[in-house]
Chain A
């Protein structure tokens, strides 16, 4: 028998320590990922005896439905794009403004930070139901406010044109605090000297903001755009909670990709088609992540 050298012993210990996490990742993360790809090639129904291999039929069906302007799948994807394209810029603009103002004031910073942070840590489902109540006709606080100012009452969640913005407002509201904190951390890292030098050179606030704040905040901005885009792409719980029967209505005007996946997989048990949609969602998220990596490497170069 050879003697175990210290180096060999350490290697053995490293493997031993990593054994459970490694098995976990292989079985709970890697295997299901591959399994999802496999399922997407089947007409998979858990209630059936055997699963039928159908090749790329699920993907062809997805392409057909995406090309059909009247299909629910098309509505889900186009709504999701609207959630991302409207939600991310609005949320990040407000958050940046709030972070800059928080940086401006001297006192009460902790109190304000707490205020903006509260919605972020509370349960999305509970908050979504509170907003659903806020949007109600008659007693809903928002319509009470409108009446108070002699403005006409609005249908909000009951209108096909107002429902999506109403839900989006709640999502923006809830996630604002997270973006504020990331921006605030970024703003605090910018040396005060830069602004003082700029003032000496006769720059006004807007110029300082354009030439110093924005470029130096670039890493935080890119980071938040990617993180928030992914989180808006995955919108699910607020739509489930704020639409009648959680159906993404009225007239599919608020439904999202993940809500469709949930319904296809766990209510219609068409798991193969649902899996194909998750693969497509995964591809989109992957592209967003890769673009972020490119942008951040360029920014640090």
Chain B
């Protein structure tokens, strides 16, 4: 296509993209602007606060359980990300590199779990959590919030794809040198699949950070809620206190936005590569 013919399309594209792009950030900008408004200014139609204040932040940080919800979300997301990184890689490695009786049937078992929606499992999980076979009730515990996500079928398949790229010759040579079977996985396969492990960790972290329905069901104590559950309860209770709700929303969203701005290339390429949803 000649340059002369292309420029109107380019200009139009820039224009449209800027327009749609604006609708993407205006809600965030408005949320942040509102979080600096004093309560008396809330019902005024101005976008920016006339007399900006940080009083809302003081209230939310010191008078609500929001810092505690932050901590809970970090604990749960880290727990599941570490577990997923290890077990999904290990299972993916076994499916990619070992031949054993029953491999097909076990693989199909993992595969089939992908089709079952979480909504179908939460009711049985709840019953299982109230009367667990190990220990006492899992309600309001970190383990209870985290257990459904400790190993994921999607992650196992992703890792299997990547582990297939690890050369067999390399593994066999190391085996001859007396490296243990676990050593082969830990010291050869994992380092070679590190980009995939990284992508898996990021998506798993994001997915868990935003997880809502299960944490909502398994927590009832205010101190054990994760950030999204806390925000929901906090907002329902805050009722008309829109300045506080917007402050809570800002505090819950901005750190994540910073992470994404910082790591955007890895995250976006990861999605394009794997098609995993966060």
Residues of B within 8 A of A53 (CB): none
Residues of B within 8 A of A155 (CB): none
Q: Please provide the chain B residues from 122 to 140 with a CB less than 8 Å away from any CB of chain A in the complex.
A: 122-128, 130
Sorting the interface of chain A by its residue count into under 10, 10 to 19, 20 to 34 or 35 or more gives 35 or more
Q: Are A123 and B121 in contact, CB atoms less than 8 angstroms apart?
A: no
A266 to B26 CA separation, bound complex (whole angstroms): 36
A130 touching B27 in the complex, CB below 8 Å, given contacts A36-B123, A199-B1: yes
Q: Across the two chains, which residue of chain B brings its CB closest to A37?
A: B120
Chain B nearest CB from A117 CB (Å) reads: 6
Q: Are B117 and A18 in contact, CB atoms less than 8 angstroms apart?
A: no
A266 to B213 CA separation, bound complex (whole angstroms): 11
B23 within 8 A of A: yes
Write out, one digit per residue, whether chain A residues 118-152 have a CB within 8 A of any chain B CB (1) or not (0): 11111111110111011010110100100100000
User: Interface centre among A25, A196, A241, by most B CB within 10 Å?
Assistant: A25
Q: Are A184 and B272 in contact, CB atoms less than 8 angstroms apart?
A: yes
Q: Are A25 and B212 in contact, CB atoms less than 8 angstroms apart?
A: no
A237 to B9 CA separation, bound complex (whole angstroms): 39
Q: Across the two chains, which residue of chain B brings its CB closest to A196?
A: B1
Residues of B within 8 A of A241 (CB): 232, 235
A119 to B253 CA separation, bound complex (whole angstroms): 10
Chain B nearest CB from A265 CB (Å) reads: 5
On chain B, the number of residues with a Cβ less than 8 Å from chain A's Cβ atoms is 97
B227 within 8 A of A: yes
Q: Which of A54-62, A68-76, A158-166, A273-281 lies on the face that meets chain B?
A: A273-281
B266 within 8 A of A: no
Write out, one digit per residue, whether chain B residues 24-66 have a CB within 8 A of any chain A CB (1) or not (0): 1111101100100000001111010000000000000000000
Q: Are A181 and B20 in contact, CB atoms less than 8 angstroms apart?
A: no
Write out, one digit per residue, whether chain A residues 38-80 have a CB within 8 A of any chain B CB (1) or not (0): 0100000010000000000000000000000000000000000
Residues of B within 8 A of A26 (CB): 109
Q: Are A14 and B235 in contact, CB atoms less than 8 angstroms apart?
A: no
Give me 8 A-to-B residue pairs in the complex whose CB atoms sit less than 8 angstroms apart, sorted by A's number: A10-B99, A13-B98, A24-B87, A104-B10, A118-B28, A141-B47, A227-B275, A278-B120
Those 9 A-B pairs whose CB atoms lie nearest each other, nearest first? A32-B124, A185-B272, A14-B98, A101-B13, A35-B124, A278-B120, A29-B113, A126-B249, A115-B21
Other CB < 8 Å A-B pairs besides A17-B182, A21-B87, A181-B272, 18 of them?
Answer: A18-B106, A24-B150, A35-B124, A36-B124, A39-B124, A46-B130, A102-B17, A104-B13, A117-B268, A122-B256, A125-B231, A133-B242, A141-B47, A173-B23, A182-B272, A227-B277, A240-B232, A281-B120
